[in-house]
C-alpha cells in the first residue's frame, strides 16, 4: 500500500498536481478531508476501494458526501482491482465520479482527469448553484446542458432530476428520468430514479412495481432493494421490508445496512436476525470511524431480550467510557436489567437509579429503554412516567410510538397502552389543533402564547414545532415583518431541519418564510 501511494503521488506530480495529501487509512483520510472542509476542500480524491481496515472506499465516500465534507465539484476516483470492479460498480447508485482499475498509467489518469475537468467546465455554474442551495437555478443550468445536446447529456439529466427531487418536484423529476430512459432503455439510475419519484409522489403501487422490475433486472443494485424496503415500510409490510433489507445487507455489507436490518428485525420481533445484524455492526465498526456506541446498546438489549444477560454486559464494556448522556442512560438501563436477571439486586437498583437520573437529559428513545428497566425492576410508576414523556416528546413519530407500545407489551402491560400512548397522542394533537384553530379565527396572540408554551415544554416535538412555525408564519404574513417573530420562526425551522431533514412540509414553510422576508425587504426598499 505505501508503495502504491508513492506511485500514485509520482503519477500526479507528473501531471503537475503537486499539492497532494496522503492518507494510509479511512480514519486518516476522513481526518484530512474534515480538516480541509472549512478551509479549502480537496479538488480530487483518489481512494482505493479496499482500504484494508473496517471501512471500504464506498462507505467512506457515502460518509463524506453524506456529511457534505466535500464540494459537489470535488472529483472522487475510486481505485479498484479488476477482480472486484463489477461488484463495486454495479452495486451502488451512490457512485463515485469515476473508477480507475489497477494497474493504470499516468497517461490513463491524465485522460480521465481531463474528461472530468471538461465536465466541471460544462457543469461549473450548475454545481455552484447546487452547492449554494439554489436548486431551481441549478435545474435550469442542467436543462441548458441537455438542450445543447452535449456529451454530458445523461449526467446533466441525472443531476437535473436530483435538483428537482431536492425541490420536492417529484413529477417533474419523474419526467426527467423518463427522458433519460427514452434515450437509453434500462439505464439503472434512471429506472431507479423513476421508481423513487413515483414513491415520492405518493404512488406506492406503481413505485413498488417499478422498483421490483429494476431489482429483477439489476439484482445487485442495492438502491433498488433499499427502495423496496422503504416502500414496504411505508405500506406497513414490515416482514417484507425486513426481507428487502436482508438482500440489501447481503449485496453490499456495511455497518449502516446491517444496522437498518437490525432495527427492522427488532421491530418485527425477529430477534435472531436482529442479533446477527447488530453483532456484525459492532464487529465491523470496532475500530472504525463509523463506530456508534448505540449499536452496542442495541445488541445488549437484544441479548437481554433473548435471555443472555452476561453477554449483554460484555458487549457494553468496550464503549462504557462513551460520555454521551443518552447512551449512558441506555447503558445503565441495560445493566440494571442484566444484574436483575443475574440476581444482583443491589447492582441492579444502583444502575437503575443512575439510568433514571441520566434519562432526565436524554431523548425519547433512551427514556423508553430506561422504562423497560423500570418495569423489570418493579418501578412501574416510573416506567409509566417515562413512556408518557417519550410519547409526548414526539407524538407524530410512528416508529417511536410502535416502540412505546412494544415496551408495554413486553412488560405485560398492554392494558396501559390506550392511557399511556393513545391518550397522550390525542392530547398533544388537541393542543396543536386548538392553537391552530385560534390562529385561523385570527386570535393570533392567544394561539402564539399556547404554542410557545408547548414548544418550551416539548422543544423537539416535530408536530408542535410545525404548528408553531405555521402560526408564527401566519402572523408574519398578516401583520408584516416582526423581527422577534421572524427570529422565532427561523429557530423552529432550523430545529425541524435537524429533526426531519428534507421533510416536505418543512421545505415548503422555509420557502414561504423566505418569500415573506424578500417581500418585506422589497417593501422596505420601495
Partner 1 sequence: MKDALVATVVHDLKNALSSLTSSTGDIAGRAAGSELELDATRLHATTVALSQRLVGFLTVYRSAQAGLSAQLRDHTPEDFLREVAAGLVLPPEAVGINVAECEDGAPFWFFDDYLTRMALEAAVHNALRFARSEVVLACAVRNGFLVFSVADDGPGLGADAEPSTGLGTVLCQAIARAHTHGERTGKVVLRNRPEGGALFELWLP
Residue closer to partner 1 by CB (options 102, 479) is 102
103 part of the interface to partner 1, by CB under 8 A: yes
For residues 470 and 506, the answer to whether their CB atoms sit within 8 Å is: no
Q: Which residues pair with 76 in a beta bridge?
A: 45
Nearer to partner 1, 105 or 250 (CB): 105
The region of 16-24, 94-102, 332-340, 508-516 touching partner 1 under the rule CB under 8 A is 94-102
Give the H/E segment covering residue 56: none
**117 counts as binding partner 1 under rule CB under 8 A:** no
Query: How far is Cα 438 from Cα 252, in angstroms, rounded to an integer?
Result: 52
Q: Is 184 in the site for partner 1 (CB under 8 A)?
A: yes
Please choose, out of 95-103, 192-200, 365-373, 403-411, the segment that lies near partner 1 by the rule CB under 8 A.
Answer: 95-103
Asked if residue 96 lies in contact with residue 77, where contact means CB atoms within 8 angstroms, the answer is: yes
Q: What is the DSSP letter of 74?
A: -
Told to check if 101 binds partner 1 by CB under 8 A, we report: yes
Q: Give 151 or 508: the residue with its C-beta nearer to partner 1.
A: 151
Residue with cell 410508576: 381
Question: Applying CB under 8 A, which part among 81-89, 272-280, 314-322, 367-375 lies near partner 1?
Answer: 81-89
Nearest Cα to Cα of residue 13 among 135, 131, 141, 109:
109
Q: What is the dihedral of CA 509, 512, 514, 517, to 10 degrees?
A: -120
Instruction: Based on the shown chain and the rule CB under 8 A, indicate whether residue 112 belongs to the binding site for partner 1.
Output: yes
Q: Does 120 bind partner 1 (CB under 8 A)?
A: no
Nearer to partner 1, 68 or 105 (CB): 105
The DSSP H or E segment spanning 77 is: strand 75-80
Listed in sequence order, the DSSP H helices in 394-482 are 398-410, 417, 423-440, 444-457, 462-479
**Binding track over 124-163 against partner 1, x by CB under 8 A:** -------------------------xxxxxxx--------
* CB-nearer residue toward partner 1: 108 or 287: 108
Q: Which is nearer to partner 1, 149 or 202 (CB)?
A: 149
Piece of 110-118, 297-305, 404-412, 417-425 that binds partner 1 (CB under 8 A):
110-118
Can you tell me the distance from the alpha carbon of 396 to that of 260, in angstroms, rounded to the nearest whole number? 21
Q: Which is nearer to partner 1, 99 or 512 (CB)?
A: 99
C-alpha cell at 346: 443491589
Smallest CA-to-CA distance from 414 within 377, 387, 382, 378 is with 387
- Binding of residue 82 to partner 1 (CB under 8 A): yes
Question: Does residue 186 come out as left (phi exceeding 0), alpha (psi in the -120 to 50 range) or beta?
Answer: left
Of these, 22, 111, 239, 250, which contacts partner 1 (CB under 8 A)? Answer: 111
Shortest distance (Å) from residue 247 CB to partner 1: 18
* Residue of 20, 28, 73, 99 that binds partner 1 (CB under 8 A): 99
| 5 forms part of the interface with partner 1 (CB under 8 A) | no
- Decide whether 7 or 320 has the Cβ nearer to partner 1: 7
Core vs surface per residue 225-264: b (16+ CB within 10 A) or e: bbbbbbbbbeeeebebbbbbbbbbbebbebbbbbbbbbbb
Q: Which residues bind partner 1 (CB under 8 A)?
A: 7, 10, 82-83, 85-86, 89-90, 99, 101-105, 107-108, 110-112, 115, 149-155, 184-187
Amino acid at each position: 500500500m505505501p508503495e502504491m501511494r508513492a506511485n500514485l503521488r509520482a503519477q500526479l506530480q507528473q501531471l503537475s498536481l503537486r499539492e497532494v495529501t496522503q492518507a494510509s487509512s479511512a480514519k486518516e483520510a476522513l481526518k484530512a478531508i474534515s480538516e480541509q472542509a472549512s478551509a479549502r476542500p480537496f479538488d480530487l480524491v483518489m481512494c482505493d476501494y479496499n482500504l484494508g481496515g473496517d471501512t471500504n472506499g464506498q462507505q467512506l465516500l457515502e460518509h463524506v458526501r453524506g456529511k457534505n465534507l466535500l464540494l459537489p465539484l470535488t472529483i472522487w476516483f475510486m481505485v479498484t482491482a479488476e477482480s472486484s470492479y463489477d461488484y463495486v460498480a454495479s452495486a451502488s447508485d451512490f457512485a463515485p465520479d469515476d473508477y480507475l482499475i489497477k494497474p493504470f498509467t499516468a497517461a490513463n489518469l491524465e485522460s480521465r482527469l481531463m474528461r472530468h475537468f471538461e465536465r466541471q467546465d460544462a457543469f461549473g455554474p450548475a454545481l455552484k448553484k447546487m452547492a449554494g442551495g439554489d436548486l431551481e437555478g441549478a435545474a435550469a443550468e442542467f436543462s441548458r446542458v441537455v438542450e445543447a445536446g452535449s456529451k454530458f447529456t445523461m449526467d446533466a439529466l441525472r443531476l437535473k432530476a436530483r435538483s428537482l427531487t431536492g425541490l420536492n418536484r417529484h413529477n417533474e423529476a419523474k419526467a426527467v428520468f423518463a427522458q433519460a430512459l427514452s434515450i437509453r432503455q434500462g439505464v439503472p439510475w434512471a429506472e431507479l430514479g423513476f421508481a423513487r419519484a413515483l414513491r415520492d409522489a405518493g404512488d406506492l403501487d406503481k413505485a413498488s412495481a417499478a422498483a421490483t422490475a429494476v431489482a429483477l433486472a439489476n439484482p445487485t443494485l442495492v438502491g433498488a432493494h433499499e427502495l423496496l424496503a422503504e416502500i414496504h415500510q411505508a405500506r406497513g409490510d414490515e416482514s417484507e421490508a425486513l426481507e428487502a433489507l436482508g438482500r440489501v445487507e447481503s449485496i453490499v455489507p456495511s455497518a449502516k445496512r446491517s444496522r437498518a436490518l437490525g432495527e427492522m428485525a427488532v421491530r418485527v420481533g425477529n430477534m435472531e436476525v436482529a442479533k446477527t445484524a447488530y453483532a456484525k455492526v459492532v464487529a465491523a465498526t470496532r475500530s472504525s470511524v463509523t463506530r456508534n456506541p448505540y449499536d452496542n446498546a442495541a445488541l445488549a438489549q437484544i441479548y437481554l431480550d433473548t435471555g443472555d444477560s452476561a453477554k449483554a454486559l460484555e458487549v457494553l464494556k468496550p464503549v462504557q467510557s462513551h460520555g454521551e448522556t443518552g447512551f449512558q442512560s441506555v447503558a445503565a438501563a441495560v445493566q440494571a436489567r442484566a444484574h436483575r436477571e443475574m440476581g444482583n439486586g443491589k447492582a441492579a437498583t444502583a444502575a437503575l437509579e443512575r439510568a433514571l437520573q441520566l434519562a432526565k437529559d436524554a431523548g425519547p428513545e433512551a427514556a423508553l429503554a430506561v422504562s423497560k428497566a423500570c418495569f423489570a425492576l418493579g418501578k412501574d410508576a416510573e416506567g409509566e412516567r417515562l413512556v408518557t414523556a417519550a410519547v409526548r416528546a414526539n407524538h407524530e413519530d410512528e416508529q417511536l410510538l410502535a416502540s412505546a407500545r412494544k415496551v408495554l407489551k413486553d412488560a405485560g402491560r398492554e392494558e396501559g397502552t390506550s392511557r399511556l400512548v393513545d391518550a397522550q397522542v390525542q392530547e398533544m394533537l388537541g393542543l396543536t389543533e386548538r392553537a391552530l384553530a385560534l390562529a385561523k379565527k385570527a386570535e393570533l396572540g392567544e394561539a402564539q402564547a399556547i404554542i410557545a408554551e408547548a414548544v418550551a415544554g416539548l422543544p423537539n416535538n416535530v408536530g408542535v414545532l410545525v404548528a408553531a412555525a405555521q402560526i408564527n408564519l401566519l402572523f408574519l404574513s398578516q401583520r408584516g415583518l416582526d423581527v422577534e417573530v421572524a427570529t422565532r420562526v427561523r429557530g423552529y425551522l432550523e430545529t425541524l431541519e435537524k429533526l426531519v431533514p428534507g421533510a416536505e412540509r418543512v421545505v415548503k414553510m422555509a420557502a414561504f418564510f423566505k418569500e415573506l422576508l424578500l417581500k418585506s425587504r422589497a417593501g422596505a426598499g420601495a
